[in-house]
C-alpha cells in the first residue's frame, strides 16, 4: 500500500511542521522529495538530513511561492533535472491574524499571495510535467477555517476557502489527464504556526474539538500521503478533513 517508489514529489514549505512531516512520509514510501522553503535554511537542511538518514532521497530548494515566476522556474527545473514530477503538496502558508477593522492592506495582500496565489502558481508549474506522463497528484493544504470561518482570520480563511475552489476547478480541468487534485483541511495541529497560542487560547480551541486534543503533523501527513498514493486514483476534487471532529 502507498508505494511511491520512483516518484518525484515537491513539498512546498517542507522545512518544518506539516510540510516536514509530509516530506518524511512521502520519502519513507520511496518518493524522491524536493522540499522548498523561504527562510530557515537550517531547518530545511535538517529535514533533508533526517530523510537521508532514514534511507530516503531528498533535496531542498529555496524560493518564495508568492513569486509566480520564481515558483514556475524552480518547479520546471526540478521536473527537468529529475525527469518527471508526480506529486505536488502545496503546503507553504502563513497566517497574519487580526480583526477586520485593524486589517492592513499589505497583510491581506501577503496572505493571499502566499497561501492562494502561491499554491496556484506551483500547481500551474506542476501540471505541465504531469500532463506529459498523464498522471499526477496535487494536494493543497487548506484549513478547517476555510470551511467554517473564524473571527480574526478573515484573510487567512478567505485564502484557504479559495484553495478549495481552486482544487475543485483543477480537478475538473485535468481529470482527463488522470491528474487528481484534492484538499486536506487540518483543524488545530500543534506546529510552530499554532505555537504562539497561550494556554487559555489553547484550551478554548480544544473545547471545540470532540477528540479532545490537538492533532499532530504526522496525522495530517498520513492523509496527504493517501491522496498522493496510487490507491487514491479515483479520489479527486475532495476535501479531506483532519480536524478531530471540530467540523462534522
Ligand atoms: P509552519 O508555519 O510551521 O510552516 C509553514 C511552512 O511554509 C514553513 O516551511 C515556511 O518556510 C513555509 N513558507 C511560508 N511562507 C512561504 C513562502 N512565501 N514561500 C515558501 N515557503 C513558505 O506551518 P504549519 O503549521 O506546518 O502549516 C502548514 C500548512 O498547513 C499551512 O498552509 C497552514 O496554513 C496549514 N494549516 C495548519 C494548521 C495548524 O494548526 N498548524 C491548521 C490548518 C492548516
Amino acid 204: pLDDT: 87
Distance of CA 143 from the midpoint of ligand 1 (Å): 11
CA distance 156 to 131: 31
Distance of CA 176 from the midpoint of ligand 1 (Å): 31
Amino acid 196: pLDDT: 84
Amino acid 201: pLDDT: 86
> Per-block average pLDDT, block size 10, for the chain (248 residues)?
98 97 98 97 98 98 98 98 98 97 98 98 98 98 98 98 99 98 98 88 92 97 99 99 98
Which residue's CA is the closest to the ligand 1 atom numbered 1? 193
Identify the active-site residue in 37, 156, 174, 188.
156
Q: Which residues form the pocket of ligand 1, taking CB atoms under 6 Å from any ligand atom?
A: 12-13, 15-19, 36-40, 64-66, 91-94, 114, 141, 143, 186, 188-189, 191-194
Which residue's CA is the closest to the ligand 1 atom numbered 44? 143
Distance of CA 181 from the midpoint of ligand 1 (Å): 19
**Per-residue b/e over 46-79, b at no fewer than 16 CB within 10 Å?**
ebbeebeeeebebbbbebbbbbbeebbebbeebb
Of 10, 121, 3, which is closest to residue 60 (Cα–Cα)? 10
| Cell numbers at 241, concatenated | 478533513
Amino acid 197: pLDDT: 85
Ligand 1 pocket mutation pick from 20, 191, 247 by most atoms within 8 angstroms of CB: 191
156 is catalytic: yes
Of 61, 60, 54, which is closest to residue 30 (Cα–Cα)? 54
Amino acid 74: pLDDT: 98
Amino acid 97: pLDDT: 95
Distance of CA 35 from the midpoint of ligand 1 (Å): 13
Please report, in angstroms and rounded to a whole number, the separation of the first and last CA atoms in the chain: 28
Which residue's CA is the closest to the ligand 1 atom numbered 19? 64
Amino acid at each position: 500500500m502507498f508505494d511511491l517508489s520512483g516518484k518525484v514529489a515537491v513539498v512546498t514549505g517542507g522545512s518544518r511542521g506539516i510540510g516536514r512531516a509530509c516530506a518524511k512520509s512521502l520519502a519513507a514510501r520511496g518518493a524522491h522529495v524536493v522540499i522548498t522553503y523561504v527562510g530557515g535554511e537550517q531547518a530545511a537542511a535538517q529535514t533533508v538530513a533526517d530523510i537521508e538518514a532514514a534511507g530516503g532521497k531528498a533535496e531542498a530548494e529555496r524560493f518564495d511561492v508568492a513569486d509566480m515566476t520564481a515558483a514556475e522556474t524552480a518547479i520546471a527545473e526540478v521536473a527537468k533535472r529529475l525527469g518527471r514530477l508526480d506529486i505536488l503538496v502545496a503546503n507553504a502558508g502563513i497566517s497574519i491574524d487580526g480583526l477586520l477593522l485593524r486589517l492592513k492592506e499589505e497583510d491581506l495582500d501577503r496572505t493571499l499571495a502566499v497561501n492562494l496565489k502561491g499554491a496556484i502558481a506551483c500547481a500551474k508549474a506542476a501540471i505541465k510535467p504531469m500532463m506529459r506522463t498523464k498522471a499526477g497528484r496535487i494536494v493543497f493544504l487548506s484549513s478547517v477555517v476555510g470551511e467554517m470561518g473564524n473571527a480574526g482570520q478573515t484573510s487567512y480563511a478567505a485564502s484557504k476557502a479559495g484553495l478549495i475552489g481552486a482544487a475543485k476547478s483543477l480537478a475538473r480541468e485535468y481529470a482527463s489527464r488522470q491528474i487528481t487534485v484534492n484538499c486536506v483541511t487540518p483543524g488545530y495541529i500543534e506546529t510552530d504556526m499554532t505555537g504562539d497560542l497561550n494556554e487559555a487560547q489553547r484550551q478554548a480551541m480544544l473545547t471545540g474539538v470532540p477528540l479532545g486534543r490537538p492533532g499532530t503533523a504526522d496525522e495530517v501527513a498520513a492523509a496527504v500521503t493517501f491522496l498522493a498514493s496510487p490507491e487514491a486514483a479515483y479520489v479527486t476534487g475532495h476535501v479531506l478533513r483532519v480536524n478531530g471532529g471540530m467540523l462534522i
